[in-house]
Amino acid sequence: MDDPRLTPARPDLAAQYLEGRVRAARFVAGEEFEIADGIAPLRSEPFSNAMLSTQALKGESAIIYDRNGEGWAWGQLKRDGYVGWLPDRTLVTPAAAPTHKVTATSTFAFPGPSIKLVPADTLVMGAMLSVLREDGAFAVTRDGWYLPLPHVGRLDRHEPDFVAVAERFVGTPYLWGGKSSLGADCSGLVQISLNAAGIECPRDSDMQRDNLGRVLDPAESRKLQRGDLMFWNGHVAIVRDADTIVHANAYHMATAIENTNDAIARIKAAGSEITAIKRLT
Protein backbone atom coordinates (compact mmCIF):
# COMPACT_ATOMS: atom_id res chain seq x y z
CA MET A 1 0.00 0.00 0.00
CA ASP A 2 1.26 3.47 -0.86
CA ASP A 3 2.34 5.54 2.13
CA PRO A 4 -0.20 8.42 2.39
CA ARG A 5 2.55 10.69 3.75
CA LEU A 6 4.34 10.36 0.40
CA THR A 7 1.42 9.80 -1.96
CA PRO A 8 -0.54 12.82 -3.21
CA ALA A 9 -3.85 11.01 -3.59
CA ARG A 10 -7.33 11.60 -2.22
CA PRO A 11 -10.65 10.07 -3.31
CA ASP A 12 -11.49 13.24 -5.22
CA LEU A 13 -8.05 14.15 -6.58
CA ALA A 14 -4.60 12.70 -7.18
CA ALA A 15 -1.35 13.54 -8.91
CA GLN A 16 -1.29 12.64 -12.58
CA TYR A 17 1.80 10.46 -12.18
CA LEU A 18 -0.28 8.15 -9.94
CA GLU A 19 -2.92 7.44 -12.60
CA GLY A 20 -3.34 3.69 -12.92
CA ARG A 21 -1.86 3.15 -9.47
CA VAL A 22 -4.49 4.73 -7.25
CA ARG A 23 -8.20 5.48 -7.51
CA ALA A 24 -9.35 9.08 -7.70
CA ALA A 25 -12.15 11.03 -9.31
CA ARG A 26 -9.64 13.05 -11.33
CA PHE A 27 -5.91 13.39 -11.87
CA VAL A 28 -3.98 16.66 -12.26
CA ALA A 29 -0.43 17.46 -13.29
CA GLY A 30 0.11 20.04 -10.56
CA GLU A 31 2.14 23.22 -10.66
CA GLU A 32 5.54 23.93 -9.15
CA PHE A 33 5.91 26.70 -6.59
CA GLU A 34 8.65 27.94 -4.30
CA ILE A 35 8.41 28.53 -0.55
CA ALA A 36 8.79 32.26 0.15
CA ASP A 37 8.62 32.31 3.96
CA GLY A 38 11.59 31.47 6.15
CA ILE A 39 9.64 28.52 7.56
CA ALA A 40 6.26 27.33 6.28
CA PRO A 41 4.11 24.76 8.10
CA LEU A 42 2.96 21.69 6.21
CA ARG A 43 -0.15 20.50 8.01
CA SER A 44 -2.26 17.35 7.91
CA GLU A 45 -5.45 19.34 7.26
CA PRO A 46 -6.20 22.82 5.83
CA PHE A 47 -6.54 24.53 9.21
CA SER A 48 -4.12 26.65 11.19
CA ASN A 49 -4.63 24.43 14.26
CA ALA A 50 -4.22 21.12 12.39
CA MET A 51 -1.30 18.85 13.26
CA LEU A 52 2.09 20.03 12.04
CA SER A 53 3.35 17.20 9.83
CA THR A 54 6.62 18.84 8.86
CA GLN A 55 7.99 22.18 7.71
CA ALA A 56 9.15 23.58 4.40
CA LEU A 57 12.03 26.05 4.32
CA LYS A 58 12.55 29.07 2.13
CA GLY A 59 13.62 28.13 -1.38
CA GLU A 60 12.19 24.61 -1.26
CA SER A 61 9.95 23.54 -4.14
CA ALA A 62 6.48 22.05 -3.88
CA ILE A 63 4.14 20.64 -6.51
CA ILE A 64 0.65 21.96 -5.77
CA TYR A 65 -2.37 19.95 -6.89
CA ASP A 66 -5.24 21.77 -5.20
CA ARG A 67 -6.12 25.12 -3.61
CA ASN A 68 -9.21 25.27 -1.45
CA GLY A 69 -9.90 28.99 -1.86
CA GLU A 70 -9.60 29.49 1.89
CA GLY A 71 -5.88 30.10 2.14
CA TRP A 72 -4.54 26.56 1.86
CA ALA A 73 -2.84 24.58 -0.89
CA TRP A 74 -2.44 20.80 -1.05
CA GLY A 75 0.69 19.33 -2.56
CA GLN A 76 3.97 17.50 -2.24
CA LEU A 77 7.41 18.78 -1.27
CA LYS A 78 9.92 17.92 -3.98
CA ARG A 79 12.93 17.21 -1.77
CA ASP A 80 11.59 14.59 0.63
CA GLY A 81 8.22 13.90 -0.98
CA TYR A 82 6.06 14.79 2.02
CA VAL A 83 2.38 15.51 1.26
CA GLY A 84 0.13 17.97 3.07
CA TRP A 85 -1.40 21.42 3.24
CA LEU A 86 0.69 24.60 2.97
CA PRO A 87 -0.44 28.20 3.50
CA ASP A 88 -1.26 29.67 0.10
CA ARG A 89 0.53 32.90 0.99
CA THR A 90 3.92 31.19 1.21
CA LEU A 91 3.83 29.98 -2.40
CA VAL A 92 5.44 32.01 -5.18
CA THR A 93 6.27 31.26 -8.79
CA PRO A 94 9.94 30.25 -9.05
CA ALA A 95 11.99 33.15 -10.40
CA ALA A 96 15.60 31.96 -10.26
CA ALA A 97 17.27 28.76 -9.14
CA PRO A 98 18.80 28.92 -5.65
CA THR A 99 22.58 29.27 -5.56
CA HIS A 100 23.27 29.35 -1.83
CA LYS A 101 21.91 28.00 1.46
CA VAL A 102 21.93 29.06 5.08
CA THR A 103 24.71 27.18 6.88
CA ALA A 104 24.26 28.74 10.35
CA THR A 105 21.63 27.23 12.63
CA SER A 106 19.74 30.50 12.10
CA THR A 107 20.38 33.96 10.77
CA PHE A 108 18.65 37.24 9.98
CA ALA A 109 17.84 38.63 6.56
CA PHE A 110 18.28 42.39 6.68
CA PRO A 111 16.60 44.82 4.26
CA GLY A 112 19.91 46.66 3.73
CA PRO A 113 23.65 46.44 4.42
CA SER A 114 23.47 47.07 8.16
CA ILE A 115 22.95 44.79 11.15
CA LYS A 116 21.22 47.70 12.90
CA LEU A 117 18.21 47.45 10.58
CA VAL A 118 15.09 45.56 11.63
CA PRO A 119 15.38 42.08 10.05
CA ALA A 120 13.03 41.29 7.20
CA ASP A 121 12.91 37.62 8.18
CA THR A 122 14.60 34.88 10.19
CA LEU A 123 16.12 32.09 8.13
CA VAL A 124 17.28 28.70 9.35
CA MET A 125 19.80 26.08 8.32
CA GLY A 126 18.95 24.62 4.94
CA ALA A 127 16.95 27.57 3.64
CA MET A 128 17.92 28.23 0.02
CA LEU A 129 18.54 31.57 -1.66
CA SER A 130 19.50 33.05 -4.98
CA VAL A 131 22.51 35.27 -4.23
CA LEU A 132 23.24 37.98 -6.79
CA ARG A 133 26.40 39.53 -5.36
CA GLU A 134 28.43 40.31 -2.29
CA ASP A 135 28.34 43.73 -0.67
CA GLY A 136 30.98 44.12 2.03
CA ALA A 137 30.13 41.67 4.80
CA PHE A 138 26.83 40.64 3.20
CA ALA A 139 25.45 38.33 0.55
CA VAL A 140 22.69 40.11 -1.39
CA THR A 141 19.77 37.96 -2.59
CA ARG A 142 17.34 38.43 -5.44
CA ASP A 143 14.76 39.38 -2.79
CA GLY A 144 16.92 42.36 -1.90
CA TRP A 145 17.87 40.82 1.43
CA TYR A 146 21.30 41.14 3.02
CA LEU A 147 22.61 38.09 4.87
CA PRO A 148 25.87 37.92 6.84
CA LEU A 149 28.44 36.19 4.65
CA PRO A 150 29.60 33.77 7.38
CA HIS A 151 26.06 32.40 7.58
CA VAL A 152 25.66 31.33 3.94
CA GLY A 153 27.43 28.97 1.59
CA ARG A 154 27.04 27.61 -1.91
CA LEU A 155 24.63 24.72 -2.39
CA ASP A 156 27.51 22.31 -2.93
CA ARG A 157 29.10 23.12 0.41
CA HIS A 158 28.73 20.12 2.71
CA GLU A 159 29.54 19.72 6.40
CA PRO A 160 32.13 16.99 7.03
CA ASP A 161 30.49 15.60 10.18
CA PHE A 162 26.71 15.46 10.41
CA VAL A 163 26.93 14.58 14.12
CA ALA A 164 28.70 17.89 14.77
CA VAL A 165 25.78 19.60 13.04
CA ALA A 166 23.32 17.86 15.35
CA GLU A 167 25.39 18.90 18.36
CA ARG A 168 24.95 22.54 17.35
CA PHE A 169 21.21 22.13 17.98
CA VAL A 170 21.56 21.15 21.65
CA GLY A 171 19.06 23.21 23.62
CA THR A 172 16.69 23.66 20.66
CA PRO A 173 13.09 23.30 21.89
CA TYR A 174 11.30 20.10 20.96
CA LEU A 175 8.57 20.66 18.36
CA TRP A 176 6.55 17.86 16.78
CA GLY A 177 6.99 18.29 13.02
CA GLY A 178 9.77 20.86 13.44
CA LYS A 179 13.04 20.84 11.54
CA SER A 180 14.86 24.01 12.51
CA SER A 181 16.76 25.68 15.34
CA LEU A 182 13.44 27.25 16.39
CA GLY A 183 12.05 23.79 17.11
CA ALA A 184 12.83 20.24 15.99
CA ASP A 185 11.63 16.71 16.54
CA CYS A 186 13.82 13.61 16.53
CA SER A 187 13.65 12.80 12.83
CA GLY A 188 13.74 16.48 11.89
CA LEU A 189 17.09 16.79 13.66
CA VAL A 190 18.42 13.79 11.73
CA GLN A 191 17.16 15.17 8.43
CA ILE A 192 18.62 18.65 9.03
CA SER A 193 21.98 17.20 10.00
CA LEU A 194 22.28 14.72 7.15
CA ASN A 195 21.11 17.25 4.58
CA ALA A 196 23.79 19.66 5.79
CA ALA A 197 26.35 16.93 5.08
CA GLY A 198 24.98 16.43 1.57
CA ILE A 199 23.11 13.22 2.40
CA GLU A 200 19.49 12.96 1.32
CA CYS A 201 17.25 11.80 4.13
CA PRO A 202 13.56 10.85 4.47
CA ARG A 203 11.47 12.87 6.90
CA ASP A 204 10.09 10.48 9.54
CA SER A 205 11.94 8.09 11.82
CA ASP A 206 10.34 4.94 10.39
CA MET A 207 11.29 6.07 6.87
CA GLN A 208 14.84 6.70 8.06
CA ARG A 209 15.02 3.30 9.72
CA ASP A 210 13.80 1.58 6.55
CA ASN A 211 15.89 3.52 4.04
CA LEU A 212 19.17 4.68 5.58
CA GLY A 213 22.33 2.63 6.03
CA ARG A 214 22.62 -1.00 7.05
CA VAL A 215 21.45 -2.82 10.16
CA LEU A 216 24.18 -3.65 12.67
CA ASP A 217 24.38 -7.21 13.92
CA PRO A 218 24.46 -7.81 17.71
CA ALA A 219 28.27 -7.91 17.84
CA GLU A 220 28.59 -4.62 15.96
CA SER A 221 25.91 -3.06 18.16
CA ARG A 222 28.17 -3.53 21.17
CA LYS A 223 30.75 -1.24 19.53
CA LEU A 224 28.80 1.82 18.50
CA GLN A 225 30.45 4.41 16.30
CA ARG A 226 29.90 8.13 15.92
CA GLY A 227 27.13 8.62 13.39
CA ASP A 228 25.27 5.37 14.00
CA LEU A 229 21.50 5.82 14.17
CA MET A 230 19.56 4.19 16.99
CA PHE A 231 15.85 3.55 16.43
CA TRP A 232 12.86 2.85 18.63
CA ASN A 233 9.23 2.83 17.50
CA GLY A 234 8.60 6.48 16.71
CA HIS A 235 12.02 7.71 17.79
CA VAL A 236 15.58 8.06 16.50
CA ALA A 237 18.83 9.18 18.13
CA ILE A 238 22.31 9.88 16.78
CA VAL A 239 25.29 8.17 18.41
CA ARG A 240 28.03 10.67 19.42
CA ASP A 241 30.55 8.26 20.91
CA ALA A 242 30.73 5.02 22.90
CA ASP A 243 28.75 6.52 25.79
CA THR A 244 26.39 9.25 24.55
CA ILE A 245 23.70 10.08 22.01
CA VAL A 246 22.23 13.35 20.79
CA HIS A 247 18.51 13.46 20.09
CA ALA A 248 15.51 15.77 20.04
CA ASN A 249 13.09 14.29 22.53
CA ALA A 250 9.93 15.08 24.44
CA TYR A 251 11.40 13.91 27.77
CA HIS A 252 13.82 16.84 27.84
CA MET A 253 11.52 18.90 25.55
CA ALA A 254 14.72 19.81 23.73
CA THR A 255 17.61 18.47 21.71
CA ALA A 256 19.89 16.99 24.35
CA ILE A 257 23.03 14.93 24.82
CA GLU A 258 22.27 11.94 27.01
CA ASN A 259 24.09 8.90 28.31
CA THR A 260 23.20 6.07 25.93
CA ASN A 261 22.52 3.43 28.58
CA ASP A 262 20.43 5.85 30.61
CA ALA A 263 18.35 6.73 27.55
CA ILE A 264 17.85 3.07 26.62
CA ALA A 265 16.71 2.23 30.15
CA ARG A 266 14.43 5.26 30.38
CA ILE A 267 12.77 4.56 27.03
CA LYS A 268 12.44 0.86 27.86
CA ALA A 269 10.70 1.78 31.11
CA ALA A 270 8.28 3.85 29.04
CA GLY A 271 7.48 0.75 26.99
CA SER A 272 9.74 0.85 23.94
CA GLU A 273 12.69 -1.32 22.95
CA ILE A 274 15.35 -0.55 20.34
CA THR A 275 14.12 -1.76 16.93
CA ALA A 276 17.34 -1.24 14.94
CA ILE A 277 20.76 0.32 15.00
CA LYS A 278 22.00 1.38 11.57
CA ARG A 279 25.33 2.52 10.16
CA LEU A 280 25.42 4.83 7.19
CA THR A 281 28.75 3.58 5.82
| pLDDT value at residue 256 | 98
186, 194 contact by CB (below 8 A): no
Dump pLDDT digits (tens) for 151-177.
Answer: 999 999 999 999 999 999 999 999 999
| pLDDT value at residue 95 | 87
209, 236 contact by CB (below 8 A): yes
Q: Which residues of the chain have pLDDT under 70?
A: none
Give the DSSP letter string of 126-170. T-EE-EEEEETTEEEETTS-EEEGGGEEETT---S-HHHHHHTTT
User: What is the distance between the alpha carbons of residues 10 and 262, in angstroms, rounded to a whole number?
Assistant: 43
| pLDDT value at residue 131 | 98
| pLDDT value at residue 224 | 96
Dump pLDDT digits (tens) for 28-61.
Answer: 999 999 999 999 999 999 999 999 999 999 999 9
